[in-house]
Chains A and B, each alone.
Chain A
Amino acid sequence: MSNRDIQNTLAVFKREFMAYFNSPVFYVIVVIFLLATNGFTFFFSRLLDSDDVSLATRFFVWHPWIYTVLAPAVGMRLWSEEHRLGTIELLMTMPVSPWQAILGKFLAAAVIWLIGLALTFPIVATVVYLGDPDSGPIISGYVASYLYAMACLAVTSAISAFTRSQVVCFIISVAFCLVIALIGDPGLTQTVVNAVPNGMEFVVRFISYFSFMDHFFEMTKGIFVLRDVLYFVSVIVVALLVTDLGLRSKRA
């Protein structure tokens, strides 16, 4: 990356980042996110009533479902808003390459998420105060959670490149994230495996392998496997490539 690349990416990043604070989006989403994570952890999983302080089954387990709805809410404005306002024409006739813009915008949303996730620290403080948890699973849990959010965000970025409507982008992104979460659900996979003819199971298993879930849970268990990290990174890269494709197709 040249100096110019970094400056342009940074300029787009700064603008996009500030846009989250200039509108209620950031505050609303962070508040909902914190209410949801804390609510699920304390009231549904009853973290305080149990004897163990493992966060994997009581805290991180909820994250994929929360991200399914909230990551598209953060990401839906990325490109849809540019299309709607017509500012895409301005941005794409500046001496900025599409990649600098795509990265700048994605990083802005990524940092917003990092702030949201960092604000869940009271839960970690709680388990550290009450018990003596291993730090390994907590760290890998957070990495898994953040990667999951980034994958959802990148998918949303890709979809927002194709539409000028934030609502359309939101709904399609939620549907996509939901499907990709559900196909990895062990219960669901088992049901489908039982339903399909003999010998077809490998197809089901193969499809479910593409789910975020499997990779996510492997990591939250504290098994930090490069393979799972690479999986999420490649999902993000592919989604950003599709974003570029979407922007190209809009410019015909």
Chain B
Amino acid sequence: MIQVKNLIKVFGTKVAVDDVSFSVEKGEVLGFLGPNGAGKSTTMRMVTGYFRPTSGSVSLCGVDMLEEPELAKQRLGYLPENAPLYSDMTVASFLGFCAELRGLHGADRTRAIDRVLDLCFLDSVRNQSVDTLSKGYRHRTCFAQSIIHDPDVLILDEPTDGLDPNQKHEVRGMIKRMGQNKAIIFSTHILEEVEAACSRAIIIDRGKVVADGTPESLKKLVPGANSLDEVFRSITNSDTGAKKAA
């Protein structure tokens, strides 16, 4: 459902994403791993149509993102990094605005809002201003926005960032449940999350895909490694010094 081919993004002279290709099928949850600055967010921004790739192509459910952006975006739900929200709105009015942009009006709109308020445990704050919410609630509000139209493709940039352990557990469970009939990509720094929720993982480093496979198969990449953590450290370059085997 998500087809990414030879994606390249150059900012000035810096190559942020260097020839990344992958595909995600329905029912798959793809974990997107990599050190800070590896190009995870940039790749996701190109897949969602926010950034225009320098070259390469993206298609969602067979619709090309560059040729028919509005059509492709209809199939997509996106949670950007840091969960941006309009601070002057209430939770319900924000979700209502997003529902309208998704083409939901009248009774459909009300039903969609109620559904995601319930799904993301936001009922208690529905009429509260976004400004006054704690980080966990803000995050869940933005997450609610991404699933309001029950999209086929879901792209989540660090969906568990800033959540407490209970909320993390809940969000992971939700991703796993929704993954059964959607194509999901989510990025994270937390490796146990990948084992808990993903059916597949990609490790990206300096703009290149360095590993692609199930969490189990990734562990076998590095002989003697017991955890994904060790694999991650040995195949990505740390920017804090000590370079390990590439």
Contact = CB atoms under 8 A, between A and B. Distances in A.
A15 B80 contact: no
A11 B52 contact: no
Q: Is the interface of A mostly helix, strand, loop or mixed?
A: helix
A37 B70 CA distance: 44
Contacts of A15: 86, 89, 97
A194 interface: no
Interface string B79-101: 01010111111000100011011
A93 B101 CA distance: 10
Nearest to B98: A94
Contacts of A12: 101
Given A11-B101, A251-B51, A251-B52, A95 B84 contact: no
Interface in B63-88: 69-71, 73-74, 76, 78, 80, 82, 84-88
A117 B32 CA distance: 53
A4 B74 CA distance: 12
Q: How large is the interface on A (under 10, 10 to 19, 20 to 34, 35 or more residues)?
A: 20 to 34
Interface in A71-95: 85-87, 89-95
Contact of A93 (B73, B88, B105): B73
Contacts of B103: 4, 7, 95
A93 B76 contact: yes
Q: From B11, B45, B74, B145, name the one whose CB has the most chain A CB atoms within 10 angstroms.
A: B45
A93 B71 contact: no
B76 A252 contact: no
B48 A93 contact: yes
B105 to A, nearest CB: 7
B121 interface: no
Given A95-B70, A251-B51, A90 B102 contact: no
A57 interface: no
Contacts of B100: 7-8, 11, 14
A94 B80 contact: no
B22 interface: no
A22 interface: yes
B56 interface: no
Nearest to B105: A7
Contacts of B11: 252
Contact of A90 (B51, B52, B80, B87): B80
B35 interface: no
Contact of A92 (B49, B93, B105): B49
A89 B86 CA distance: 12
Interface of B: 11, 45, 48-52, 69-71, 73-74, 76, 78, 80, 82, 84-89, 93, 97-98, 100-103, 105, 142, 145
21 contacts: A7-B105, A11-B97, A11-B101, A14-B97, A15-B89, A19-B89, A22-B88, A86-B82, A89-B45, A89-B80, A90-B98, A90-B142, A92-B50, A93-B50, A93-B76, A94-B98, A94-B101, A94-B102, A95-B73, A95-B101, A251-B50
Given A14-B97, A85-B84, A95-B70, 8 more contacts: A7-B105, A19-B86, A19-B89, A86-B82, A90-B78, A96-B70, A251-B51, A251-B52
